[in-house]
């Protein structure tokens, strides 16, 4: 029998209601003896800028729905990471 695909709200609700013992960690990396005292969470502030983009680029990201600016930011961050 095919499993019914849940929408994002249903998925989030299902995760929220999960018990810790139900979480599958098999594909997570082992942090081992990481020095958690030195851990600093990623805190990057956003700055508002004006940028000119080609209209087809804007329409492409807008066609993906809500959060298109966040998606553009993610693409630029990935580019930065690789260059």
* Domain boundaries along the sequence of the chain: 48-83
pLDDT at 32: 74
pLDDT at position 28 is 80
What's the pLDDT score for residue 7? 84
Which pLDDT does position 68 carry in this prediction? 94
CA 13, CA 56: separation in Å to the nearest integer?
36
Residue pLDDT, tens place only, 18-35: 998 998 888 887 777 777
Residues of the chain with pLDDT under 50: none
The set of residues, in sequence order, having a beta carbon less than 8 Å from that of 64 and lying 6+ positions away, is 71
């Amino acid at each position: 029998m095919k499993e019914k695909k849940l929408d994002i709200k249903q998925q989030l609700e299902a995760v929220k209601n999960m018990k810790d013992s139900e979480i599958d960690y098999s594909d997570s990396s082992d942090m081992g003896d990481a020095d958690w005292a030195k851990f600093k969470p990623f805190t990057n502030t956003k700055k508002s800028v004006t940028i000119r983009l080609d209209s087809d680029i804007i329409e492409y990201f807008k066609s993906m729905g809500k959060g298109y600016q966040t998606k553009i930011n993610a693409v630029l961050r990935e580019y930065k990471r690789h260059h």
